């Protein structure tokens, strides 16, 4: 199981939101590339990046910060937020991003996901962010009428490398992950699932591991790493 430390970018800074609300952002670093380097030195191999401004505006906004991260670390990276067309996908992959995450585009333009998976095998993930089981889009500002499971099933044969499932109600709230809903999703899919939202202590990581769900292949951790609730060395050793 892979641990993905998260760097959420807002106005060029590394922040964490509470339940996806942009006006409740806590700034942890004004030099995200330095934070990325610290994660690399701690022993993480993957990095989860989100362009928060981009998610709301529908186009890349924090490209400068992402580029600085890519120039300063040798980690594998996955990036989401504001990626809505083939040109942007291709540009990020060419810049060095290893996996592009399509979220809003997966709901509004599923054909783009299919096209991208054909053009860039194993380099496209679908981000499914849900409020009470229903998919949210546009930086979580809008809630659709499609369930997380129904959306995920649309891409079962598309060649998606992973489904990143975030329970918005848990994200940044430090209230524990929604293992039950993530398990339900993973058990319906052959596509690997990455759990996101609510990891607040080492026992949460242990709980995901002990759940023993074969389809859950990764965990994204954000705020708990920044405030010291989870020590990287201990979490990595556990898995």
Active site amino acids: 8, 129
Task: Please give the C-alpha separations between residue 167 and each of 100, 117, 119, in angstroms, as whole numbers.
Answer: 20, 25, 29
Helix, strand, or coil (residue 49): strand
Give the span between the Cα atoms of 56 and 78, in whole angstroms.
Answer: 18
The pair of three-digit structure tokens given for residue 203, joined into one six-digit string: 């026992």
Give the span between the Cα atoms of 77 and 59, in whole angstroms.
Answer: 19
Give the span between the Cα atoms of 122 and 148, in whole angstroms.
Answer: 21
**Do the strands 142-147 and 134-137 form a parallel or antiparallel pair, or are they unpaired?**
antiparallel
Please classify residue 71 by burial: count the beta carbons closer than 10 Å to its beta carbon, then call 0-12 exposed, 13-18 middle and 19+ buried.
exposed
User: How large is the C-alpha radius of gyration of the chain?
Assistant: 16
């Amino acid at each position: 199981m892979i641990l993905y430390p998260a760097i959420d970018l807002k106005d060029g800074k590394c922040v964490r939101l509470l339940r996806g609300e942009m006006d409740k952002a806590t700034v942890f670093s004004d030099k995200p590339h330095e934070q990325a380097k610290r994660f690399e030195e701690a022993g993480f191999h993957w990095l989860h990046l989100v362009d928060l401004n981009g998610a709301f505006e529908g186009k890349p906004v924090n490209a400068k910060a992402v580029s600085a991260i890519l120039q300063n670390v040798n980690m594998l990276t996955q990036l989401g937020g504001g990626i809505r067309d083939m040109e942007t996908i291709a540009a990020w992959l060419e810049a060095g991003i290893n996996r592009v995450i399509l979220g809003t585009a997966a709901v509004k333009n599923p054909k783009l996901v299919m096209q991208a998976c054909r053009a860039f095998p194993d380099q496209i993930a679908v981000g499914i962010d849900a409020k009470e089981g229903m998919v949210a889009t546009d930086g979580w500002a809008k809630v659709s009428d499609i369930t997380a499971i129904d959306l995920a099933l649309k891409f079962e044969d598309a060649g998606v490398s992973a489904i990143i499932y975030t329970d918005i109600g848990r994200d940044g709230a430090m209230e524990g992950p929604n293992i039950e809903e993530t398990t339900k999703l993973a058990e319906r899919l052959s596509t690997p699932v990455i759990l996101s939202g609510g990891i607040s202590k080492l026992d949460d990581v242990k709980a995901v591991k002990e759940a023993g769900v074969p389809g859950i292949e990764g965990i994204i951790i954000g705020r708990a790493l920044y405030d010291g609730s989870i020590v990287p060395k201990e979490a990595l050793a556990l898995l």
